[in-house]
Structure 1
Amino acid sequence: MKTSTIITIAREFGSGGKETGQLLAEDYGIKCYDKELLSIAAKESGLAPELFENHDEKPTSSFLYSLVMDTYSLGYGSSAYVDMPINHKVFLAQFEAIKKIATEGPCVIVGRCADYALADFPNCVNIFIHADLPARIERIAKLYDLSEDKAKDLIKKTDKNRESYHNYYSNKKWGEAGEYDLTINTTTVGISGAVKIIEELVRLKEEMPVKEETEKNAE
């Protein structure tokens, strides 16, 4: 199976968004970028990898923390960049890394405002994966060997961070249906079902220009 489409996946914690992305990438024979983006952005920007781990989808409003962490910054001489809070530097580095990866060909990118970064890419579909809370609690409790209460707390904290990060750095609202090409509840269709639905969307999208041109020529 081949594709020319870039697929971005935003996801609720515990909904299986990452696994969905990995299965899609396997089917298409393309790369899936999740945390791999962090090392790529660190290498391209010259910022310490630890910064990307510490700030990964977690905005901070602490300017003092930003100033302290800024000592990790390497090789950037402009005053505007030097004075920029470190969380902004990390976001910009990821933003540029996402766009660079997308120019190299079709791929799957999980999280990190990829839908916003690639807003000008016509060959992109943006997906939001969610699931019912009980199903997510069960999944996270099993995955991380946690009690149901701790799993629930971790889900709420992680989702809050992802939502805050996305809404802070983009002009979109995380999880709002109108912001995506498709939202899928994996509790209803399962992860394999989600993969099939996304692949059908991609097929229809890739066929659409051909159909429009055929209809135009027939007039």
Structure 2
Amino acid sequence: MKTNTIITIGREFGSAGREIGYKVAEAFGIKLYDKEMLARAAKESGICEEIFETHDEKPTNSFLYSLVMDTYSMGYSGNTYTDMPINHKVFLAQFDAIKKIADEGPCILVGRCADYALESYKNVVSVFIHADMNARIRRIARIYDLTDAKAKDLIIKTDKKRSSYYNYYTNKKWSDAESYELCLTSSELGIEGTAKAIIDYVRLKESIGNDERHI
């Protein structure tokens, strides 16, 4: 099953967004990028990968922190980003890497404002995956061997970081329906069902074609 579509997936923590993405990627025979985006951005920017992992979907507004971290970004001195705080350098390097990955062909990109980076691309479907809090607590508690209380705390903190990162770097609101083309609830559809919904949506959109999609 071939596709010409690039799919971006935003997700609440514990909604199984990445697992769903892998099922969609397998169905279409395309690659999924998650942490791989960080490695790609690090390689192409010259900033060490640990810096990307430190800043991964975590906005840092502290100027002092940025100055301290900037001492570790060796290798970027010849770049136009030189005078920027390190958190901005990291975002822009990742932004560039996302575009280069998309230019290589259909793929799935998880998180990291990929939908915003690719908003000028015609062949992108942006998806956001929600799930009921109780379902997310059960999933995270099981995966990380946590109590329900600790799982809930981790979910709230992680979602807050993702939301702050997305809202800080884009002109949209994280998890709001208006920010995405397709929003799905994995606790209602299940992992397989949510993946199928994305696959069916992409197939339908491609079958309709560009000329017939104007309302």
**Amino acid of the structure 2 residue aligned with 1:7:** I
Instruction: Report the CA distance between 1:82 and its aligned residue.
Output: 2.2
Partner of 2:105: 105
The match for 1:47 is 47
Percentage of identical aligned residues: 65
Does the C-alpha gap of structure 1 residues 79 and 139 become closer, same or farther in structure 2, counting only changes over 3 Å?
A: closer
Distance 1:73 1:148, change over 3 A: same
Q: Does 1:2 align with 2:2?
A: yes
Matching of residue 145 in structure 1 with residue 118 in structure 2: no
SS of residue matched to 1:72: coil
The residue matched to 2:205 in structure 1 has which SS? helix
Structure-1 separation of matches of 2:31 and 2:74: 29
Partner secondary structure for residue 125 of structure 2: strand
CA shift at 1:73, angstroms?
1.6
Q: Counterpart in 2 of 1:216?
A: none
Aligned counterpart, 2:93:
93
Alignment match, 1:76: 76
Q: Which amino acid aligns with 1:184?
A: L
Give the structure 2 partner of residue 217 of structure 1.
none
Contact kept in structure 1, 2:9 and 2:110, CA below 8 Å: yes
TM-score, with normalisation over the residues of structure 2? Answer: 0.96
Offset at 1:15? 0.3
Q: Larger radius of gyration, structure 1 or 2? A: 1
1:19 and 1:121 mapped to 2: Cα distance? 25
1:60 matched to which residue of 2?
Answer: 60
TM-score by length of 1: 0.94
Aligned length: 213
1:164 aligns with 2:128: no
Change (3 A) 1:211 1:90: closer
Question: Conserved in 1, the CA contact under 8 Å of 2:7 and 2:108?
Answer: yes
Cα distance between partner residues in 1 of 2:95 and 2:80? 18
Which position in structure 2 is the counterpart of 1:121? Answer: 121
Q: Which residue of 2 aligns with 1:32?
A: 32
How well do the aligned residues superpose, as a CA RMSD in angstroms? 1.4
- The CA deviation at 1:77 is 3.4
Q: In structure 1, what is the Cα distance between the partners aligned to 2:104 and 2:62? A: 36
Query: Gaps (5+ residues) in structure 2?
Result: none
